[in-house]
Structure 1
Amino acid sequence: MIKKPFQMMILVLILLMAACSNSAKPTDVTNEEGASENTEEGSTDVIKIGFISDATGLASSQGKPEMDTAEYLEAKINEDGGINGKKVKLIKYDSESDETSAVLGMKKLINQNVSIVVGGTITGSSLAILEIAQKEKVPYISLAAGSEIVKPVKEYVFKVVHNSDLMIEQTLKSLNENNIQKVAWMNINDAYGEDGYKHFKEMAPDYGVEIIAEEIFEGSDTSVIPQLSKIKLKKPDAIVVWTRPPSGSVVSKDFKQLGFNIPLVHSYGMANQAYLDQAGAIANGNLLASGKILISENLPDSDPQKKIIEDFIKDHKEKLGYPPTNFSGYSYDGIMLGIEAIKNVGTDRNAIRDYIENNIKDFVGITGVFNITPEDHSGLSLDSIVMIEVKDGNWALYNK
Structure 2
Amino acid sequence: MRLLSLTVLFAAALSVALPAGAAEPIRIGAVVSATGPASFLGEPERNTLQMQADALNAAGGLLGRPVEIIVLDDETDVNKAVLAVDRLLKKENVVAVVGPTVSGNSLAVAPKLEAAKVPLVSMAAAEKIVKPVNPWVFKTAQSDRLAVGRILSHAKAKGYKKLAILTVSDGYGQAGREVLKEMLPAGGFELAGDEVYGPKDTDMTAQLTKLKGTAPDAIICWGTNPGPAVVAKNRVQLGITTPLYMSHGVASKKFIELAGEAAEGLLLPAGKLTVAGQLPESDPQKALLLAYSKAYEDRFKTPASAFGGYGYDGLMLVAQAIAAGKDASPAAIREALEKIAAFPGVTGVFNFSPADHNGLDESAFVMVTITGGDFKLLAD
- Relative to the length of structure 1, the TM-score reads 0.88
Residue 4 of structure 2 corresponds to: 35
Amino acid at match of 1:100: N
Amino acid at match of 2:157: E
Residue 25 of structure 1 corresponds to: none
Identity of aligned residues (%): 37
Counterparts in 2 of 1:161-310, with a 5 A limit? 161-310=141-290
Does 2:86 correspond to 1:107? yes
Of 341, 363, 382, the residue aligned with 2:321 is: 341
Distance 1:201 1:185 in 2: 9
- Is the Cα contact below 8 Å between 1:72 and 1:320 reproduced in 2? no
Residue 314 of structure 1 corresponds to: 294
Deviation at 1:44, TM superposition (A): 4.7
Distance 1:97 1:272 in 2: 19
Distance 1:123 1:267 in 2: 15
Residue 389 of structure 1 corresponds to: 369
Deviation at 1:38, TM superposition (A): 6.3
Amino acid at match of 1:72: M
Distance 2:23 2:84 in 1: 23
Distance 2:48 2:220 in 1: 30
Cα separation, partners in 2 of 1:72 and 1:38, compared to 1, 3 Å: closer
Distance 1:229 1:139 in 2: 46
Residue 72 of structure 1 corresponds to: 51
- Is the Cα contact below 8 Å between 2:6 and 2:50 reproduced in 1? no
Q: Deviations over 1:201-225 (max 9, x none)?
A: 1111233321111111111111112
Q: Name the SS for the 2:239 alignment partner.
A: coil
Distance 1:38 1:215 in 2: 47
Runs of 4+ in 1 over 4 A off after TM superposition: 37-40
- Is the Cα contact below 8 Å between 1:150 and 1:157 reproduced in 2? yes
- Is the Cα contact below 8 Å between 2:102 and 2:125 reproduced in 1? yes
Q: Name the SS for the 2:341 alignment partner.
A: coil
Deviation at 1:260, TM superposition (A): 0.8
Q: Deviations over 1:287-306 (max 9, x none)?
A: 11111111112211111111
Deviation at 1:374, TM superposition (A): 0.4
Deviation at 1:83, TM superposition (A): 1.5
Of 115, 129, 132, the residue aligned with 1:135 is: 115
- Is the Cα contact below 8 Å between 1:176 and 1:208 reproduced in 2? no
Distance 1:106 1:259 in 2: 48
Amino acid at match of 1:143: M
Distance 1:80 1:284 in 2: 43
- Is the Cα contact below 8 Å between 2:23 and 2:64 reproduced in 1? no
Deviation at 1:341, TM superposition (A): 1.3
Distance 2:363 2:24 in 1: 40
Distance 1:160 1:316 in 2: 19
Amino acid at match of 1:58: P
Q: Deviations over 1:307-342 (max 9, x none)?
A: 111111111111111221111111101100011112
Amino acid at match of 1:71: Q
Distance 2:378 2:187 in 1: 19
Q: Name the SS for the 1:185 alignment partner.
A: strand
Q: Name the SS for the 2:186 alignment partner.
A: helix
Distance 1:51 1:44 in 2: 22
Distance 1:38 1:81 in 2: 16
- Is the Cα contact below 8 Å between 1:287 and 1:388 reproduced in 2? yes
Does 2:312 correspond to 1:332? yes
- Is the Cα contact below 8 Å between 1:62 and 1:272 reproduced in 2? no
- Is the Cα contact below 8 Å between 2:269 and 2:368 reproduced in 1? yes
Deviation at 1:187, TM superposition (A): 0.9
Q: Name the SS for the 2:93 alignment partner.
A: coil
- Relative to the length of structure 2, the TM-score reads 0.92
Paired residues, what number? 366
Of 356, 372, 375, the residue aligned with 2:337 is: 356
Residue 98 of structure 1 corresponds to: 77
Deviation at 1:151, TM superposition (A): 0.7
